[in-house]
Amino acid sequence: MGAPFGWPVIHHAGDAWVRSSSVRLNEGVNPELLALLRTDLVAGAYTNDAVASRLGPEAEAALGREHIVPAARVVDARRRQGSRDALDVLLDLFLLSRPIDDADVDLAFPALGSAEAVRLGLLRVDDRSGERSWTAALDVHPYAFTDERGDGHWWILSDLGERAVGGALPEDHVLGVGGASLTLAGITIPTPVDSVLDLGTGCGIQAMHASRAATRVVATDVSERAVEIARANAVLNGITNIEVRLGSLFEPVSGETFDRIVTNPPFVITPRVEGVPLYDYRDGGLVGDALVEAVVRGTAEHLAPGGTAQMLGNWEYTTRSDGLSRVDGWLAGLRLDAWVVEREHLDPAFYAETWIRDGGTREGSDDFARLSTAWLDDFEHRGVTGVGFGFVTLHRPSDADREPVVRLERATGSLETAGLGEHIGRCVAAVDWAAGLDDAALGRESLAVAPDVTIEHHFEPGNDEPTAILLRQGGGFRRAISAGTGLAALVGASDGTLDVGSILGAIAHLLEVDESALVAETIPDVRRLIADGILLMA
């Protein structure tokens, strides 16, 4: 595939994650063409809300499942009724992957025009049959979101998906906004900072989100094609504080530090054998989970004091090591607080099937069987028994001398990640604060129970003593934590007016237990509740 935009490369820092892209750049971008495209997308009302209104709930839901027939019926009915408009054309082109005619091009792109749409790399023309038709050469999707700064809307350029391509994807494919992108955007801490690094930017979606909270954003990618599409998305959406650089891992930012690092790196574990495609957007070119390890270790050199890094990743379970223990080993010596949350654990066969299908190869084909064999042979050879997926939050303490706090957990139940970043940010800040206090100093602090926490007492019929006490969190990770009588009483009394030590003293008196023993038993639990966001700094 040729490069549609062709920015000249200004920053080049090394090879690919391990290899370089095959894309060649052309004579340079024309921002005026992207401005004309924006004019047409606005005039065509190409937004999430307008699309949903046009299609209706059933057709929209079917389209989300890759079933295009209901949506196509809506668009076709409007053509028969003579009410076809620019939005119908945009639906045909970009959401239904169907060809359009000359009149449609004029209808949907009156400002840009057909010749400039081809020059931009947006459309391609086919006149071999003597009857000219136009198809999309790039995908353009509307994207809506809500964050701490309000509602927002963008258009996201990316490469065509497998339905439009008609089979397996090319290795330099640039992915649009997918589930992993939405997960990372949802868990990213939203507080304002000066500088953000988006490592492995892809189409640029994380950098675009970061631009709303940062003074400046540096976005990097090993793929020349991803770099040019990320730049195009920034220009198309009028975002001016993103700088995109080409290069491998942290090489484009050598010697620089950032207040925040976000990364959805190419973490997929792919066998390094001939005939297995290596997709730029998902394969880092290293064996196993070594790419994720390299990113984790690299953040230590590029986080400013008080800075935080957040990333998605895979890690291997092997005959020699547990997955989370493996990640714990990567953290040794980094002097960073770490919070590792494993969301899924997949067996080798399921993992292989997932990523083979992701590349556009369908089950039942010879290629599917060949690729599945390659994956399973690789896992067996290296003793891999499963693969974990989750997210990692790293924080450089402002106090470089204190011991880092490392938390490793599995949270495989239902979890709403949209908006989770604010909760994670509070927890990271609270851990940093509490880690700087010894037990005596923490006992002198006043805490308040989070407003979303309830205390549940469970009784057996006829028994006045609770058989179980649960602290239940309504937001965040929606934890349900078993608590003893003393801890539950402390939480219930924590309203920000009394310090922890005074409350525990009163509880010890009421329970007729030794106060020193109760304090020693309870303070570690208090630290955990602070880290979980159940108890807050008053």
Q: What is the tens place of the pLDDT at every residue in 422-449?
A: 999 999 999 999 999 999 999 999 999 9
Angstrom distance (rounded) from CA 348 to CA 366 = 19
Domain shared by 149 and 101, yes or no = no
Residue 423, in any domain of the structure: no
Q: Read off the pLDDT band of 281 (50, 70, 90).
A: confident
* Mean pLDDT within 56-83: 95
Chosen domain end from 138, 172, 206: 138
Q: What pLDDT was estimated at residue 2?
A: 34
Residue 2, in any domain of the structure: no
Domain shared by 201 and 325, yes or no = yes
Q: Which two three-digit tokens encode residue 145?
A: 């979101």
Q: What is the dihedral of CA 308, 311, 317, 323, to 10 degrees?
A: 20
* Mean pLDDT within 482-500: 96
Residue 25 has pLDDT above 50, yes or no: no
CATH number for the domain including 529? Answer: 3.90.930
Q: What is the dihedral of CA 204, 208, 210, 213, to 10 degrees?
A: 170
* Mean pLDDT within 461-466: 81
Q: What pLDDT was estimated at residue 15?
A: 32
Q: Read off the pLDDT band of 412 (50, 70, 90).
A: confident
Give the pLDDT confidence of 236-260 residue by residue, as tens digits: 999 999 999 999 999 999 999 999 9
Domain shared by 152 and 278, yes or no = yes
Domain shared by 352 and 454, yes or no = no
High-pLDDT (> 70) share of the chain, %: 95
Angstrom distance (rounded) from CA 197 to CA 366 = 41
Residue 460 has pLDDT above 90, yes or no: no
Residue 429, in any domain of the structure: no
Domain shared by 39 and 187, yes or no = no
Residue 441, in any domain of the structure: yes
Give the pLDDT confidence of 391-407 residue by residue, as tens digits: 999 999 989 899 999 99
Give the pLDDT confidence of 367-390 residue by residue, as tens digits: 999 999 999 999 999 999 999 999
Q: How far is CA 265 from CA 92, 294, 410, in A?
A: 32, 10, 21
Q: What pLDDT was estimated at residue 462?
A: 77
Domain shared by 329 and 408, yes or no = yes
Domain shared by 131 and 147, yes or no = no
- Kindly state the DSSP code that residue 178 receives in the 8-state scheme: -
Residue 292, in any domain of the structure: yes
Domain shared by 130 and 153, yes or no = no
Domain shared by 292 and 264, yes or no = yes
Residue 28 has pLDDT above 50, yes or no: no
Least trusted range by pLDDT, from 78-87, 210-219, 349-358, 379-388: 349-358
Residue 5, in any domain of the structure: no
Domain shared by 119 and 200, yes or no = no
The domain total for the chain is 3
Q: What pLDDT was estimated at residue 191?
A: 96
Give the pLDDT confidence of 140-175 residue by residue, as tens digits: 999 999 998 999 999 999 999 877 777 777 778 898
Chosen domain end from 116, 138, 160: 138
Residue 1, in any domain of the structure: no
More confident residue, 21 or 501: 501
Domain shared by 155 and 298, yes or no = yes
Give the pLDDT confidence of 95-121 residue by residue, as tens digits: 999 999 999 999 999 999 999 999 999
Residue 8 has pLDDT above 90, yes or no: no
Chosen domain end from 138, 156, 179: 138
Q: What pLDDT was estimated at residue 29?
A: 55
Q: What pLDDT was estimated at residue 12?
A: 28
Write down the mean pLDDT value for the chain. Answer: 90
CATH number for the domain including 258? Answer: 3.40.50.150
Residue 27 has pLDDT above 60, yes or no: no
Residue 450, in any domain of the structure: yes
Triad 296, 302, 307: Cα angle to 5°: 90
Q: What pLDDT was estimated at residue 363?
A: 85
Domain shared by 251 and 274, yes or no = yes
DSSP codes joined into one string, 336-401: -EEEEEEEEEE-HHHHHHHHHHHTTPPTTSHHHHHHHHHHHHHHHHHTEEEEEEEEEEEE--SSTT
* Mean pLDDT within 304-327: 95
Q: Which residue range forms the structural domain that includes residue 62?
A: 12-16+27-138
